[in-house]
Amino acid sequence: MEGKILSKIYILQRANSNPGGDESFPLMSDCADARKIERQRKKWKKLGGFLSISVSLVSIFALSWIYKILNFVWLRPRKVERTLKQQGIRGLTYKLLIGNLKESQAMIDEALSKPINRSHSIVTRLEPFITELAQNYGKVALSWLGPYARVSIMDPELIKEVMLNKSNHLEKVKINPLIELVAPGLALLDGEKWAAHRRIMNPAFHVDKLKRMLPAIYTSCSTLIDKWRNLVVPDGSCELDVWPELHHLTADVISRTSFGSSYKDGMQIFELLSEQARLFTEAGQFACIPGYRYFPTKDNYRRKEIDRRVRALLKDMIMNREKVMKMGQTSENDLLGLMMESNIRDSHEHDQALYSMSIEDIIEECKLFFFAGQETTAVLLTWTIVVLSMHPDWQQRAREEVLQFIGKAETPSINDINNLKIVTMILHEILRLYPPVIFLVRTVHKDTTIGGFNFPPGVVLTLQTLHVYRDPELWGFDAEEFNPERFAGGVASACKNLGAFMPFGFGPRICIGQNFAMMEAKVALAMILRDFSFELSPDYAHAPRAVLTHHPQHGAQIILHKV
């Protein structure tokens, strides 16, 4: 090849050295060759240029990725740390990539290794790391969720400001992507899509709709009461774990009221979502490490499998409802019906101005409501039964009230339910001491000023409501005690500061199911109280733990007596 090129260069030189030579001489073909060579030379030059540009581009690309990674795991966190500390926010120093995940998880594991005595001082068990952080650095303290700065806030004024912030610079949490597998949809959406979904779903929870849901709630409660009556028949009492029982109850209620089915129909979905929530908790905060969910682990494989199955089951449920609606039958007017109407309206293109939910959107929302609609209320009812077992005086007061206002009525009216003041006080006190949601999270996505602090993008704000609800400065010397009396004058008089008690959240993102959950809890508690008295079983181990919501780690074993 080289020789060929050299001989061609020789011919070219000859052609150049004999510009006026005999034209018939083979130099003619020499010229053609020369042009060919020149073209080839240009081609090689071009290729060389192209290669060197490619190498430069690849290097720039690689360097920019190296810089991005370096920035993500080190430069940015250090810069954020300086910015926050300069403003007087005290806390822990950043550690490369994992931040404080390791020590936080170790403290949680240690706390969960043993139950506590039967008191309401549960905060150290539930959140040992945050408790120590607050003791060392105060009510606004910095720690690290992997490479993300976490500012834990226990000051009710700041919490209120965060919840009412209208800048659109605060978003729902996106730090731990595994949450999308359990509670996606409305709970994680932001901006216009959130507003549109909320508009479609709000009517399902209006007061007049709630009234119409009462019969379905009675049906579910009666099924539970009948089952318990049969259990106590032989000797007037029996021992049982109310934790799974109350889960079945609330699952049945949400299935009947929102999806037009029953617990039995949705059982597989509930069980799969519970397993997904457990896997979420087991991953711990390590799931905040970018790419964690793509690691080829057994748990990650299982997570994907569960999600695939839940989606398939929900899709079947949605398609069945669609068939019914397309056959001209009116929708049930429940939550699923409202979402489906928005979807069908779109496919008929009746009104383009109205937002419509895609089938994918509906699946995500169903996933959320199947989970949030049963889990939180089951938690509230379970802790209520446990705590009333510890305080038989309040149990008796509540029972007397139920017998006075509801008596033996099969289907009490909404007014009867609203008359239950002591029951309501008790539920509020349980929401304070054993809140189903123990903290709230917002992520800063654009520079935001709150309470005089400027938070740069990427900072995670955790509103540590569990701690706020126990603050003696806000709740008095008996903050750790069970004293429903404090709610006798209503929530506003129990605590003057709006940011000090928000078990259902606050502001535009307040829980959509708040009234539904309270109504369901009152009905269920009233129906249990009038038929049974209860005490803790000797087997009961007091062990609250956080599994997305607030679980009794070893169940809630009680002894039921027929009243």
- Write out the residues near ligand HEM by the rule CB under 6 A: 186-187, 198, 254, 368-369, 372-373, 376-377, 380, 436-437, 440, 503-505, 509, 511-513, 516-517
Dist. CA 358–CA 339, nearest whole Å:
9
In DSSP notation, 335-349 reads HHHHHHHHHHHHHHT
Task: For ligand HEM, give the closer residue by CB, 94 or 369.
Answer: 369
Joined together, the tokens standing for residue 545 give 């733990």
Task: For ligand HEM, give the closer residue by CB, 78 or 193.
Answer: 193
Contact 497, 157 (CB under 8 A): yes
Contact 419, 405 (CB under 8 A): yes
Closest-CB residue for ligand HEM?
A: 513
Task: For ligand HEM, give the closer residue by CB, 77 or 513.
Answer: 513
Least spacing, CB of residue 364 vs ligand HEM, in Å:
11
Please choose, from the candidates 242, 150, 93, the residue with its C-alpha nearest in 3D space to the C-alpha of residue 439.
150
Q: Classify 246 in phi/psi space as left (phi over 0), alpha (psi -120 to 50) or beta.
A: alpha
Least spacing, CB of residue 229 vs ligand HEM, in Å:
26
Task: For ligand HEM, give the closer residue by CB, 287 or 548.
Answer: 548
* CA 283 from centroid of its chain's CA atoms: 14
Dist. CA 231–CA 224, nearest whole Å:
11
Least spacing, CB of residue 461 vs ligand HEM, in Å:
11
| Helix (H) or strand (E) segment spanning residue 517 | helix 514-531
Mark the binding-site residues for heme, compressed into ranges. 511
Residue 260, CB half-sphere, CA atoms under 13 Å: how many? 17
Task: For ligand HEM, give the closer residue by CB, 512 or 560.
Answer: 512
Pairing of strands 148-153, 140-145: antiparallel
Least spacing, CB of residue 390 vs ligand HEM, in Å:
20
Least spacing, CB of residue 263 vs ligand HEM, in Å:
15
Please choose, from the candidates 462, 512, 485, the residue with its C-alpha nearest in 3D space to the C-alpha of residue 154.
462
Q: What are phi and psi of 476, to 5 degrees?
A: 95, 175
Task: For ligand HEM, give the closer residue by CB, 220 or 377.
Answer: 377
Least spacing, CB of residue 103 vs ligand HEM, in Å:
26
* CA 57 from centroid of its chain's CA atoms: 41
Task: For ligand HEM, give the closer residue by CB, 279 or 335.
Answer: 335
Burial class (CB in 10 A: 0-12, 13-18, 19+), 58: exposed
Please choose, from the candidates 222, 209, 250, the residue with its C-alpha nearest in 3D space to the C-alpha of residue 520.
250
| Start-to-end Cα distance in the chain | 104
Task: For ligand HEM, give the closer residue by CB, 251 or 272.
Answer: 251
Contact 281, 548 (CB under 8 A): yes
Least spacing, CB of residue 514 vs ligand HEM, in Å:
7
Least spacing, CB of residue 250 vs ligand HEM, in Å:
8
Least spacing, CB of residue 195 vs ligand HEM, in Å:
9
Task: For ligand HEM, give the closer residue by CB, 107 or 524.
Answer: 524
* CA 368 from centroid of its chain's CA atoms: 9
b/e 148-165 (16+ beta carbons within 10 angstroms → b): bbbbbbbbbebbbbbbeb
Dist. CA 186–CA 141, nearest whole Å:
29
Mark the binding-site residues, compressed into ranges. 511
Cα 335–Cα 339–Cα 340 angle in degrees, nearest 5: 115
